Structure 1
Amino acid sequence: MRDDPTDAVTDIVVLADDLTSAGDGAAPFRRAGHRAGVLLRGPGDDTASAPRLGGGVIAADLGSRLLGEARAAARTERAARAYREAELLIKTVDSTLRGHVAAEIRAARAGSGRHTVVIAPAFPAEGRITVGGVQYVRGVPVHESEFARDPAHPVVTSDLARLLPEAEVLAPEQGARWAEPLSGGGIFVYPAATDDDLDRLVHAVDRPREVLWVGSPGLAAALARRHPRPPHASTPSPVLPAVRRPLVVVGSAHPATRRQLDRLRTRGDVAAAEVAPARGPGAAVDALRRADAPVLVVHTPDARRDAGDAQALTRDLASVAAGLTAEGLGDGLLVTGGETAVTVLEALGATGIELFDEPEPGIARGVLLGPRPVPTLIKAGGFGDDVTLERLTGLLRDGADRPATATAGA
């Protein structure tokens, strides 16, 4: 399909089930030159209550992954209705199929009024691909991977056709003719193993404004490449000063994050403290207050916790982060884990994040919206290699005066 300059979009909405997914969905559009913001709360019941940036992308964290299925669906439908006039409407899903995937897709379709739904959950940059309607993580079906043991949303099937029996799985041999079945409406699962596959899908759809797009950061990046910021649109950028003393907040129990934490704790310039059940945040605050290391880390215990303990520990992490930031002992944040990030940001009085860039796949960097414009990095628990936390801590300390990944003209 030939690129058409009249196809430029400036009103883009991402509906996400947690904060890291919201950041992951918005960040590729920031890289493509759009202004981008992540909101901690979704809209109310009507379009008038749905905040916008006045051009660019809004990513609303609906917080629905933490809800029961019925409440999650109701919240998603309400948000999709509020933003149904957006030029580009995207519903994110986790690339490992955690959460209320089927219920939220159906709810978003109903609320948006869009008859055609395209589901493409592949995120090739992180080894997450879709083959014949089955989702894989680095060659393993997701229900056989470590995500099957997720404490909140264990994955029980990798087959999208089982999750959504009403969906049609498109065949790779259909090639550029994908637009033909899509034109009649319905729910379609799109198999993709590479970014090129996702680009072909996005370019094959003639009327993208009529589609509810469902996917992970891989699809968001393909849509952003297809719809970069129009040259005439202005995009003010937040300023990211260098951080004197980063505060790293680790709440994710995912093994990838725990390996990253283990590596970070071995450094001589890092002081780390653990929040423990029944001890409260005070001991961790005192330990880090006495530390003279240039990097501070507060984290939950390595062992898996039940839901009640996990929520209490997350609140303790947020209390530590808010206290240290208020005292000026930490002037930049690196937070890993979606629920952890929301709780920490709310404790700091933030309403969202003005995005600066996406320094690595699945990682959002920006400035808090609220009383304390703190430079912040948000990382999903399952992303990155063993030295990711080290790299991101260095990135915070370096600062930046323009988005490192923005395209020309941004």
Structure 2
Amino acid sequence: MIMEKELLAEYPAEVPVDPREVAASVAATGRVLVVLDDDPTGTQSVSDLPVLTRWDVEDFAWALGTGAPAVYVLTNTRSLDPAEAQARNREAVDHALTAAREAGVPLGFVSRSDSTLRGHFPLEPDAIAATLAERTGEPTDGVVVVPAFPEAGRITVGGVHYTRDGQGGLVPVAETEFARDATFHYSSSHLARYVEEKSGGRWPAEDVIVLDLHAVRGGAAGIADLLEPAAGSTPVVVDVVTENDLRALALGLAEAERRGKKLLYRVGPPFVRARIGQEQRAPLTGDEVPAGGTGPVGGLVVVGSHVGVTTRQLKALTDRHSHATTVELPVEAVLDPDRAEAQLTETVGAVVAALAEGDVVLHTSRLLVRSEDPSESLRIARTVSAAVVAVVNRTLRTAPPRFVVAKGGITSSDVAAHGLEIRHAMVRGPMLPGIVSLWEPVDGPARGIPYVVFAGNVGDDGSLAEVVRKLSTTF
């Protein structure tokens, strides 16, 4: 057992950093960060920022017009195959640059992905860097890899990425269920070796720059000095344990960029908050959540994720919320072309009828259908997600819920963009400390309906029930 307290004893204490100092460094450049989010859960650490589910030039024009220091773009590439993910990243960067040129706004780019290392890496940063080089003529010097997400129990120490076990211990992330993901599996918790593994040896571990806690807590100038050798998209992996570490890193990155370094970022959720100097917002209370729809009594909770914590959270919600109706969408039926349509019709009817009486919990059956072929696993996941989206969209058209909570990355992305037809929204803040994001749609048929994005792999067993309790009138 690796104990966090003992592991950190060999490193200097964290250094308090005022987020206003970071914000001032961002304001001085006038730069806006464009965050290409491979699923919508990256917004859970920020507040009052625009989010897009489409990335045409006019969408970016709207987002840049808000004056926000960062813009989230829901690319949903974690659900796509590599070729599709690459094309989507390149298109989004190209359109962002066009909109920024017309608005006279300088941009930086962030590739936001999973704090448990699942996703298309290094493909996505490579796609961004290639597009920037083609459009601007400027090469990328370094790709800064910061997966840490302390609020969700993911930290990096000594170049090794861990997840907290809740009892003061640390588990190397490669020893968790996340590393056995059907599509994005990996074998190393040591980030430099992870880079070597995922890049197929293109970047040997010894060529990766490592910023450990000595460097991160040693001052901005020292961080910038260590980044000086970066060239040709050199990977840079970073230790982070606390929010102050992220802010200290932000100052070091700002200094490196002031010296002329061109950097891209591959990060977990809280990086952007720290990089723009945003305070950690307290969780929204029930009184701060928009009132929602005026039709049915109930809200809709949609659960698609199959990781263990989600299944436990689903059980806790249904055990505690006695007034909620549970509707199961059988995965086997929606994967059968001869049964799928009849199953969808039946499920929509059940959901609409139950919303008139109270909240509804719609979940896919807990049997995980998967394949040894990563592409086939993605196809299965996308088919199931499309069925969930169809139920949500037909329900919205018939009886708009008072609120919607979507649990799981692919689920919450597809529900937002296609089920609720959200194109533009504002991220209002977290529903729990540092995790679980509430969006307010500003257009489309779901305008004004509170929408909660809940990652599959965050929170304790009671977290889903706690969020629904804040939103519900019948809990």
The corresponding residue for 2:268 is: 216
In structure 1, distance between residues paired with 2:227 and 2:238:
11
1:170 aligns with 2:211: yes
SS class of match (2:327): strand
In structure 2, distance between residues paired with 1:328 and 1:193:
45
CA drift of 1:10 comes to 6.2
In the TM superposition, 1:190-339 aligns within 5 A as 190-205=238-253, 206=255, 208=257, 210-225=262-277, 240-242=290-292, 244-266=297-319, 267-276=321-330, 277-278=332-333, 279=339, 280-291=343-354, 293-306=357-370, 307=377, 308-328=379-399, 330-339=401-410
The corresponding residue for 2:436 is: 363
Q: Which protein has the larger Cα radius of gyration, Structure 1 or Structure 2?
A: 2
State the identity %: 29
Q: Which of 81, 86, 92 is equivalent to 1:79? A: 92
Do the aligned partners of 1:246 and 1:332 also contact (CA within 8 Å) in 2? Answer: yes
- TM (norm. structure 1) is 0.83
Provide closer, same or farther for how the CA distance between residues 283 and 239 of structure 1 changes in structure 2, counting only shifts above 3 A. same
CA drift of 1:190 comes to 1.1
Q: What is the one-letter code of the residue matched to 2:242?
A: T
CA drift of 1:217 comes to 1.5
Do the aligned partners of 1:242 and 1:397 also contact (CA within 8 Å) in 2? Answer: no
Do the aligned partners of 1:142 and 1:155 also contact (CA within 8 Å) in 2? Answer: no
1:156 aligns with 2:187: yes
**More displaced, 288-297 or 377-386?**
288-297
Q: What is the one-letter code of the residue matched to 1:314?
A: S
1:372 aligns with 2:446: yes
The corresponding residue for 1:408 is: none
Provide closer, same or farther for how the CA distance between residues 224 and 7 of structure 1 changes in structure 2, counting only shifts above 3 A. closer
In structure 2, distance between residues paired with 1:334 and 1:194:
28
CA drift of 1:253 comes to 0.8
In structure 2, distance between residues paired with 1:18 and 1:7:
25
Q: What is the one-letter code of the residue matched to 1:130?
A: T
In structure 2, distance between residues paired with 1:6 and 1:200:
12
SS class of match (2:249): helix
C-alpha RMSD over aligned residues: 2.8
CA drift of 1:327 comes to 2.3
In structure 2, distance between residues paired with 1:252 and 1:161:
29
The corresponding residue for 1:107 is: 127
In structure 2, distance between residues paired with 1:309 and 1:283:
21
In structure 1, distance between residues paired with 2:71 and 2:227:
26
Do the aligned partners of 2:159 and 2:212 also contact (CA within 8 Å) in 1? Answer: no
Q: What is the one-letter code of the residue matched to 1:36?
A: L
CA drift of 1:227 comes to 9.0
The corresponding residue for 1:401 is: none
The corresponding residue for 2:285 is: none
CA drift of 1:275 comes to 0.6
Q: Which of 139, 145, 162 is equivalent to 2:176? A: 145
CA drift of 1:343 comes to 2.4
**More displaced, 351-360 or 387-396?**
351-360
1:350 aligns with 2:422: yes
CA drift of 1:123 comes to 0.8
Q: What is the one-letter code of the residue matched to 1:67?
A: L
CA drift of 1:385 comes to 1.0
Do the aligned partners of 2:36 and 2:111 also contact (CA within 8 Å) in 1? Answer: yes
**More displaced, 130-139 or 179-188?**
179-188
CA drift of 1:312 comes to 3.0
Q: Which of 123, 126, 148 is equivalent to 2:149? A: 123
Provide closer, same or farther for how the CA distance between residues 153 and 293 of structure 1 changes in structure 2, counting only shifts above 3 A. farther
1:396 aligns with 2:451: no
SS class of match (1:384): coil
- Number of aligned pairs? 378
In the TM superposition, 1:6-155 aligns within 5 A as 7-8=26-27, 9=30, 11-21=32-42, 23-24=43-44, 27-28=45-46, 30=47, 35-43=48-56, 50-53=60-63, 54=65, 55-56=67-68, 57-83=70-96, 86-112=106-132, 113=138, 114-138=140-164, 139-155=170-186
In structure 1, distance between residues paired with 2:313 and 2:52:
27
In structure 1, distance between residues paired with 2:396 and 2:298:
10
Do the aligned partners of 2:78 and 2:410 also contact (CA within 8 Å) in 1? Answer: no
CA drift of 1:89 comes to 2.7
SS class of match (1:367): strand
Q: Which runs of 5+ in 1 are unaligned?
A: 229-237, 399-410
**More displaced, 243-252 or 104-113?**
104-113
CA drift of 1:219 comes to 1.4
Q: Which runs of 5+ in 2 are unaligned?
A: 1-16, 101-105, 133-137, 165-169, 197-202, 281-287, 334-338, 371-376
Provide closer, same or farther for how the CA distance between residues 389 and 6 of structure 1 changes in structure 2, counting only shifts above 3 A. closer
SS class of match (2:472): helix
In structure 2, distance between residues paired with 1:372 and 1:70:
31
Q: Which runs of 4+ in 1 moved over 6 A?
A: none
Provide closer, same or farther for how the CA distance between residues 290 and 370 of structure 1 changes in structure 2, counting only shifts above 3 A. closer
In structure 2, distance between residues paired with 1:397 and 1:10:
39
Provide closer, same or farther for how the CA distance between residues 74 and 376 of structure 1 changes in structure 2, counting only shifts above 3 A. same
SS class of match (1:181): helix
Provide closer, same or farther for how the CA distance between residues 6 and 227 of structure 1 changes in structure 2, counting only shifts above 3 A. farther
